[in-house]
Structure 1
């Protein structure tokens, strides 16, 4: 992985039954706070919810993985995790790099 290439952290959440709306609302609010807090190395975030089950996907782009890891170590992130932990059945995340982009 090139350190000068932006990185996307993709996190797939499976909400507990009946908890997707609450999870979506809390995460959407957190994204607004994220934008206002001037996070070093952060480029963008996209928050998607499934239309037919209890899944949601967060795509967050950083300048590199080190910026993301540094942000994860912050105390306020652990506080946020405490807010949503009871809503999540499972979460799976990983780093991805862009291979190809096609826009219309």
Structure 2
């Protein structure tokens, strides 16, 4: 599916929220500390495309399967800051419907064509 935007409006400053740092992400490298390995890198399906250093860490820490990955991801997910409401997972069709709804409200025209 392809979507084309015919017209876009630039947001004025009143719509741009001020950034407020809530916490440091645990994946940001810090001196003298080993940064945690991203959980997705331990999935078997990405083993042949990650860097060699990460492959060595996966060999030490072990691979994980999809159910374990999903369970650990939910358990490790950091809380969403109060200023950023969480959004439930949605299908691609729902995302397109949302885009079309937003486009109709702003006067933009979108043409969606199947692949």
Same fold (TM over 0.5): no
Structure whose residues are more often strand by fraction: 1
TM-score (norm 2): 0.25
